[in-house]
């Protein structure tokens, strides 16, 4: 409708009606937003959907990612594979990861795993409680073994650290490769 050809009284009435409709729409949107929370609770309860248990939530704990990287020194007939390449952790909590270690040769193989962290300062906040890198390993010919690392994440870990890469490099033991 062309408002320029309308008399001023009708234009004012049309503007008022538009403003009222827009006000009602805005109020309905705000009401809908507030009504969603109880509606969602009833909906989840009615369908039996499992929701996060508040007793397990720690909103003050900083979340971090621990990424695992593996390397093998040149010419070493072995393979080290993380079974879960990325694990979530929290300050003050434990992170557990498992690796598959394989001897690809037809002879026994002596190995040592050497860890490193990136960023380097992350090493101050992660304590190895259990690690296959603590001792030298000897694998029989064609043996495959699962090995474990358990890390304690320091409560003082800064939240901005975010992701940490823990890398293991396999080296032969002197005279055992």
Q: pLDDT tens-digit profile of 23-49?
A: 999 999 988 888 888 877 777 777 766
* Domain, as residue range, for 40: 1-49
DSSP secondary structure string for all residues of 80-115 = EEESSSEEEEETTSEEEEEEEEEE-SSS-EEEEEEE
Same domain? For 38 and 8 the reply is yes
Same domain? For 161 and 78 the reply is yes
Q: pLDDT tens-digit profile of 64-106?
A: 788 999 999 999 999 999 999 998 888 888 899 999 999 999 9
Which among 100, 123, 127 has a CA at the least distance from the CA of 113?
A: 100
**What is the phi/psi pair of residue 118, to 5°?**
-140, 125
| Count of alpha carbons within 13 angstroms of residue 69, beta-carbon side | 11
Does residue 177 lie in a domain region? no
CA dihedral 80, 86, 88, 92 (to 10 degrees): 30
**Domains: count for the chain:** 2
Same domain? For 22 and 65 the reply is no
Does residue 8 lie in a domain region? yes
């Amino acid at each position: 409708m062309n408002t320029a050809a309308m008399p001023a009284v009708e234009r004012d009435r049309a503007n008022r009606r538009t403003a009222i409709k827009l006000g009602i729409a805005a109020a309905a949107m705000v009401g809908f937003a507030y009504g969603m929370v109880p509606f969602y609770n009833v909906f989840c309860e009615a369908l039996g959907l499992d929701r996060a248990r508040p007793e397990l939530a720690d909103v003050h704990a900083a979340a971090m990612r621990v990424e695992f990287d593996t390397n093998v020194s040149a010419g070493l007939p072995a393979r080290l594979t993380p079974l879960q390449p990325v694990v979530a952790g929290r300050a003050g909590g434990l992170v557990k990861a498992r690796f598959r270690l394989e001897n690809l040769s037809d002879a026994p193989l002596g190995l040592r795993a050497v860890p490193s962290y990136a960023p380097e300062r992350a090493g101050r906040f992660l304590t190895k409680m259990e690690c296959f890198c603590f001792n030298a390993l000897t694998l029989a010919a064609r043996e495959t073994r699962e090995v474990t690392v358990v890390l304690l994440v320091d409560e003082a870990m800064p939240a901005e650290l975010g992701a940490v890469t823990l890398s293991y490099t396999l080296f032969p033991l002197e005279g055992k490769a």
